[in-house]
Amino acid sequence: MLKMNRTFGNCPYEERYIIYKGNSTSGQSIFKQPFIYISGNYTFTVCLEGGEYLLKMMDDDDGWSVDSFLTLSLPDYTIDTYQLARNKREDYALFSIPDSTTQRPNYCNEDEDSVEVFFNHLSGHSLCTLRVSDHLNITDGPLLMDKTYDSY
């Protein structure tokens, strides 16, 4: 299970990323970040098989905000933290997922693709929480989300 912890600073609607299977953008698109409008912390999880993957980071204007970043991790370790540099519109990074049969236990159910999204945004005295957990084809069409809001 690949965990993608995404923190957005200013202008999150300009920032996005895509993960491809293999080492080029001609590979299969595995995950496309859904459109995000509100700054905050978001966590996406997706099952991936072992192998090499390409992360493509993009921005509509001048790179990700200084307080925007993406951390990729597996249940037993952090792969790395990435940030699209200022004044860049896109950049790439390669990362690998170990083969589950030889290097680590299989944390995913191979019969289903799933995505979980968690959003926490502190605004004044209210904590807004969004959670989606469903069986989705995450590369086809928009990611539709149900919202719940908890106030303190």
Q: How many whole angstroms from its chain centre is CA 7?
A: 10
The total of other beta-carbon atoms located within 10 Å of residue 34's CB is 16
Q: Are 72 and 3 in contact (CB under 8 A)?
A: yes
Instruction: Report the distance separating Cα 140 and Cα 4, nearest Å.
Output: 19
Q: Which of 109, 102, 114, 82 is nearest to 15 (CA)?
A: 82
Q: What is the DSSP letter of 33?
A: P
pLDDT above 90: residue 8: yes
The predicted pLDDT at position 47 comes to 87
Mean pLDDT score across all residues of the chain? 76
Beta bridge partners of 38: none
Q: What are phi and psi of 61, to 5 degrees?
A: -130, -85
Tell me what the mean pLDDT of segment 43-68 comes to: 94
pLDDT above 60: residue 151: no
Q: Which of 1-10, 73-82, 120-129 is the least confident region?
A: 120-129
SS3 category, 106:
coil
Work out the pLDDT band at 109, boundaries 50, 70, 90: low
Q: What are phi and psi of 3, to 5 degrees?
A: -105, 130
